[in-house]
Chains A and B, each alone.
Chain A
Amino acid sequence: MAESKTTITVSVNGTEHTCQVAPRTLLVDLIRDDLRLTGTHIGCEEGICGACTVTVDGELVKSCLFLAVQADGKDVTTVEGLTPKCGTSRLQESFRGNFALQCGFCTSGMVVAADALLRENPDPSEQEIKEHLVGNLCRCTGYLSIIDAVRAAANQEVTS
């Protein structure tokens, strides 16, 4: 017997979706499996690594700790939603210019989290960047290039 399902309406990256979800479905599974937005990754399902970071109504959320039904009636933004139709955002370009990614698995969550920081604090200090990104783990870069990338994007001094 399959689980009973609930109908929710959720806006993801500006597109409204009406979905049938089981009550225990995690937001990250709705995003990845049902909506096929696979930029959002699953690294731990414990809320530690941040690879699944998205925003819900502008607030940063670890979508592995958030039920899909909690997103009913809300606006969800993933890394795909932060990407311009053509090319990349200033922040994404700054990550590229500063070699702030290697394997790229954490990168989507990192970009979403950094983007949220710059929205509320356009000129963060190094300490503020660190405090803001402490919930996003990266195993490859050692973080220093990520700090550089966020600062460079804030300064609008994207290296070219």
Chain B
Amino acid sequence: MNAHDSHSPADSNTGPEPFVGQSVRRTEDLRLLTGQGMFTDDAVVVDPVYCAILRSPHAHARIVSVDTSRAQAMPEVVLAISGAEAAEHWTQIPAGMDLMDMKLPKVYAIATDKVHYEGEPVAAVVAETRYAAEDALAAIDVEYEPLPAVASVEDALGVHPFDAPDGPWSPKAVLYEEWGHNIQCDWAFEIGDPDAVFASAPHVVSCRPAAHRYSGVPMETRAVVAEYDAGRETLKMRVSTQLPHQSRTLIAQILGLSEPNVQVLADDVGGGFGNKTQVDAEVIPALMAKLSGRAVKWFEPRGDWLSSGPASRDYAHHVEGAFDNDGTLLAIREHLVGDEGCDGATRSAGLGALLVGGTYSAGPYHVRSYKARVQAVVTNKAPYGAYRGYGKETANLAIERLMDTAAAKLGIDPVAIRQHNLVREFPYEMAAGPIIESGSFSQLLDMVTEAMDLPALRLRQEQARAEGRHVGIGVISFLEPSAGSIPMSVFNGYETASVRIMPDGKAMVLSGLQGIGQGVETSLAQITADRLGLHPGDVRIVYGDTKAVPYGLGAYASRGATYGMSAVYEAAGEVRRKLLKAAAGMLEVDPEDLELGRGEVWVAGVPTTRLSVQEVARAVYLSPGPYATLPGEESPTLEANHVWTNPNVSWVPDEHGRVRLYPTHGSGAQGVVVEVDVETGEIQIEKMWIAHDCGKVVNPAIVHGQIIGSTVQGLGGTMFEQLSYDDQGKLLTKTLNDYQLPNIMSVPPIEVLHMETPSPITPLGTKGVGEGGCIGTPAVLLSAVEDALREFGVTVERTPLDPMRVRALVRNAPQTAPVAG
């Protein structure tokens, strides 16, 4: 890979090569490689105390009493507090989203009367050392009255909704008595008379793809450093978060503080992947700082993260497709049921993923009749959060398994049936509402199958079968909607930027985005540098400080390349206009005759008539000043603010009840070759291919890294990672030894093929990137394993693809095949 970090020398008579499109080395890396990053717990504060949280050992129980007196009496303990005591000082957790008639639990960050999952906070301590704080937890006496644990959708409803979508329900227990049942959200939508299409369709196929529970598991757990100044009534918090501004809003609300008095800082964040998009336990150390008068440090022990951090996936589809004889997809009926754990809207934000799953189940394929029902069910497990994919992988699993099922039933080649149905004309309004603004779906699928050399692979597969080996090939397409914008939620649809050239000619950009590893400091600097004729090294990107940056929305839903970059591009464009206007005045020429680059502005064709950006900036700000350099200008300094929104977002339901929450749509295709050992159930992934299109690419190496990284996360989730619970709602996977993250040995060769179909709705043509591998990988692996086991006649619909499941598939196969010997 070629990396550039210096300005390429260019003839001064031609414009310099733009930085956008180059693999500029990352600004972030120098500090991170040398141990000088500033992750939350790295912050030094004066005289800190350390916070530890006592968590419920029961999945479902009433709290009879909490006695913190023994802990409080321990020598190094500064403060020990129960949920009931804390409730006198804060409000219940405000919901992160509230739409579609969803039900919202009324809960505090430390439980008061009842616990809803194993791991829910019941008390907290601050002490002089982390060791003393953790010791003190053992001295807190809690009396529980255990309740029946709702450990599955069947427990929650008494019947599976696939068998009885409208009940009647007979729950084993109800989590929130005031609801009367365990369904947080039940959303239905249809268009194009799908039932009639199904009734007359030549072929109806159905399948029930499902995924188990897993999550993002960032290497840095949640962390807070909180300092409260009682004299000023101000709270300064470092938080490992993807949403500094919304965190400030929610934390201020919970603690009853004036929002301008709260500062949230997030410098380096050790991974997010959607998992750091809520305020839950983070508010506990903040309260402890307020009550104790001491600076409080807290980082979440890994076991606590696994028991109480946001979980994801854990859904099941019943999806049906109506097909014509030639393989044309005529209609989809989709029923999606998610096991949310205790909550997907207040304590964390996973509920929206199920709604996205129900909206996008047509994937990149053309269909006009569509019906979806989504039921989000609560159980006694940890909250349901956002995780890379956020329902797009849910949708992909449904449509791609449906395509394979239809291909097999209709006797059509699985690649051919996809090619036949892919959307080819853009912009394309999906039946469910979203507008796919541009794409090259068919070409991406061609790119993958050509790179794979599919005919040769099929030949090799036949030879392997003759030898008793089980080689499988999977090929799928995927749609990667990006820049999600959810009304009535903290995940809204705008981004802010403030761009300014300082008097020394260097630029400062304040962005509402948040860095969590995506390289925003680098890519935003590339864009700004091109706009302002500077070197990226002369552009300082500031984010993650609510005291410095205008209210912005942070990092989620692959929104950086849509919202964040566009806001910076537009703000920088306004600064460029003023810069050229001032320079034109100084050079006594027309602004349109000027060119800008390499830190200088010059008259086109007259390279000797030039000024440095620094000279212009100094003139505008100080000598002589704006009256002389930008006369008549309304805002006569080299600064501009922009809030970027998108017309393809529509929050007002149309006559069918449809909304449009994603303005840009990346896409891709994936292929994989696996070999299954039917004796041991082990799956060897020989190679993966991924063709990817996220519109205009700003930094190819960063994009490449996002694709590989998301693919390996998708692989890990599908093959290894499990948040596994027993039938009493007790977590079985409490350490990273049990929760198997992929390691360096897990990764097969991955060939990435890039293409760029610009988005017509962003100024640079960019679309979001970062989730594609998580979206397509589960489906392509299931497809390949089913292909490998074809002679057994098994349907491979569920993850995880661990050896136990593979063995069970083979053991229970309807057909027996010759076993490899």
Given contacts A83-B34, A133-B744, A160-B3, 16 further A-B contacts (CB under 8 A): A2-B75, A42-B41, A42-B299, A48-B735, A78-B35, A95-B29, A97-B25, A98-B1, A104-B37, A104-B270, A105-B271, A136-B744, A138-B744, A139-B219, A142-B713, A142-B750
A107 touches B33 (CB 8 A): yes
B130 touches A102 (CB 8 A): no
**Shortest CB–CB separation between residue B712 and chain A, in angstroms?**
3
Kindly specify which of B55-63, B252-260, B589-597, B702-710 makes contact with the partner chain. Answer: B702-710
B34 touches A79 (CB 8 A): yes
**Shortest CB–CB separation between residue B214 and chain A, in angstroms?**
12
A140 touches B39 (CB 8 A): no
Once bound together, how far apart are the Cα atoms of A101 and B23, in whole Å? 14
Q: What total count of A-B pairs have CB within 8 Å?
A: 187
Once bound together, how far apart are the Cα atoms of A146 and B744, in whole Å? 9
A137 touches B741 (CB 8 A): yes
User: Contact flags (1/0) for A115-139 with B, using CB distance below 8 Å?
Assistant: 0000000000000011101111111
A99 touches B44 (CB 8 A): no
Flag whether B325 is at the interface (Cβ < 8 A). Answer: no
A49 touches B744 (CB 8 A): no
Once bound together, how far apart are the Cα atoms of A134 and B814, in whole Å? 39
B735 touches A44 (CB 8 A): yes
Closest residue of B by beta carbon distance from A136: B744
Flag whether B186 is at the interface (Cβ < 8 A). Answer: no
Flag whether B627 is at the interface (Cβ < 8 A). Answer: no
* A160 cross-chain contacts in B, Cβ below 8 A: 3
Give the contacting residue for A39; candidates B36, B704, B708, B711; CB below 8 A.
Answer: B36
Once bound together, how far apart are the Cα atoms of A97 and B75, in whole Å? 51
Flag whether B736 is at the interface (Cβ < 8 A). Answer: yes
* A141 cross-chain contacts in B, Cβ below 8 A: 705, 708-709, 712
Give the contacting residue for A139; candidates B299, B702, B713; CB below 8 A.
Answer: B713
B interface majority secondary structure: loop
Once bound together, how far apart are the Cα atoms of A108 and B709, in whole Å? 19
Flag whether B324 is at the interface (Cβ < 8 A). Answer: no
Closest residue of A by beta carbon distance from B737: A48
Q: How many residues of A contact B (CB 8 A)?
A: 63
List 27 A–B pairs whose Cβ atoms lie within 8 Å, in order of A's numbering: A29-B130, A32-B42, A39-B36, A40-B35, A42-B299, A43-B302, A79-B33, A88-B30, A92-B34, A96-B3, A101-B29, A103-B269, A103-B270, A103-B271, A103-B516, A104-B33, A104-B270, A105-B218, A131-B745, A134-B744, A137-B741, A138-B744, A139-B741, A142-B713, A142-B773, A159-B2, A160-B3
Flag whether A65 is at the interface (Cβ < 8 A). Answer: no
Give the contacting residue for A80; candidates B34, B218, B271; CB below 8 A.
Answer: B34
Flag whether B268 is at the interface (Cβ < 8 A). Answer: yes
* A22 cross-chain contacts in B, Cβ below 8 A: 131
B34 touches A99 (CB 8 A): no
Flag whether B604 is at the interface (Cβ < 8 A). Answer: no
Q: Which B residues from 770 to 808 make CB contacts under 8 A with A? A: 773
Once bound together, how far apart are the Cα atoms of A108 and B708, in whole Å? 21
Flag whether B67 is at the interface (Cβ < 8 A). Answer: no
Flag whether B518 is at the interface (Cβ < 8 A). Answer: yes
Q: In the complex where A43-B220, A139-B741, A140-B517 touch, is A102 in contact with B35 (Cβ < 8 A)?
A: no
Flag whether A17 is at the interface (Cβ < 8 A). Answer: no
B35 touches A80 (CB 8 A): yes
Closest residue of B by beta carbon distance from A95: B33
A105 touches B709 (CB 8 A): no
**Shortest CB–CB separation between residue A149 and chain B, in angstroms?**
10
Flag whether B202 is at the interface (Cβ < 8 A). Answer: no
Q: Which residues of A contact B (CB under 8 A)?
A: 1-3, 22, 24-25, 29, 32, 36-46, 48-49, 51, 78-80, 83, 88, 92, 95-99, 101-108, 111, 129-131, 133-148, 159-160
Q: In the complex where A46-B735, A104-B37 touch, is A144 in contact with B747 (Cβ < 8 A)?
A: yes
Q: Which 9 A-B pairs have the closest CB atoms?
A: A39-B35, A104-B32, A105-B270, A103-B517, A142-B712, A102-B517, A38-B42, A48-B736, A79-B35
A104 touches B28 (CB 8 A): yes
Give the contacting residue for B268; candidates A29, A104, A148; CB below 8 A.
Answer: A104
Interface residues on B, range: 35 or more
B709 touches A140 (CB 8 A): yes
* A37 cross-chain contacts in B, Cβ below 8 A: 35
**Shortest CB–CB separation between residue A90 and chain B, in angstroms?**
12
Flag whether B519 is at the interface (Cβ < 8 A). Answer: yes
B39 touches A137 (CB 8 A): no
Flag whether B608 is at the interface (Cβ < 8 A). Answer: no
Flag whether B273 is at the interface (Cβ < 8 A). Answer: yes
B702 touches A99 (CB 8 A): yes
**Shortest CB–CB separation between residue B743 and chain A, in angstroms?**
5
Q: Which B residues from 53 to 86 make CB contacts under 8 A with A? A: 75-76
B518 touches A102 (CB 8 A): yes
* B44 cross-chain contacts in A, Cβ below 8 A: 36
Once bound together, how far apart are the Cα atoms of A160 and B705, in whole Å? 18
A41 touches B745 (CB 8 A): no
* B131 cross-chain contacts in A, Cβ below 8 A: 3, 22, 24-25
Give the contacting residue for A105; candidates B130, B220, B301, B744; CB below 8 A.
Answer: B220
Flag whether B26 is at the interface (Cβ < 8 A). Answer: yes
Q: In the complex where A2-B76, A102-B517 touch, is A111 in contact with B33 (Cβ < 8 A)?
A: yes
* B279 cross-chain contacts in A, Cβ below 8 A: none
* A143 cross-chain contacts in B, Cβ below 8 A: 712, 742-744, 747
* A29 cross-chain contacts in B, Cβ below 8 A: 130
A51 touches B219 (CB 8 A): yes
Once bound together, how far apart are the Cα atoms of A44 and B705, in whole Å? 24
Flag whether B701 is at the interface (Cβ < 8 A). Answer: yes
B219 touches A105 (CB 8 A): yes
Q: Which B residues from 272 to 310 make CB contacts under 8 A with A? A: 272-273, 299, 301-302
* A39 cross-chain contacts in B, Cβ below 8 A: 34-37
Once bound together, how far apart are the Cα atoms of A145 and B70, in whole Å? 52
Q: In the complex where A133-B744, A140-B271 touch, is A102 in contact with B705 (Cβ < 8 A)?
A: yes
Once bound together, how far apart are the Cα atoms of A85 and B228, in whole Å? 37
B273 touches A139 (CB 8 A): yes
B219 touches A43 (CB 8 A): yes
Once bound together, how far apart are the Cα atoms of A140 and B709, in whole Å? 5
* A46 cross-chain contacts in B, Cβ below 8 A: 302, 735-737
* B130 cross-chain contacts in A, Cβ below 8 A: 29
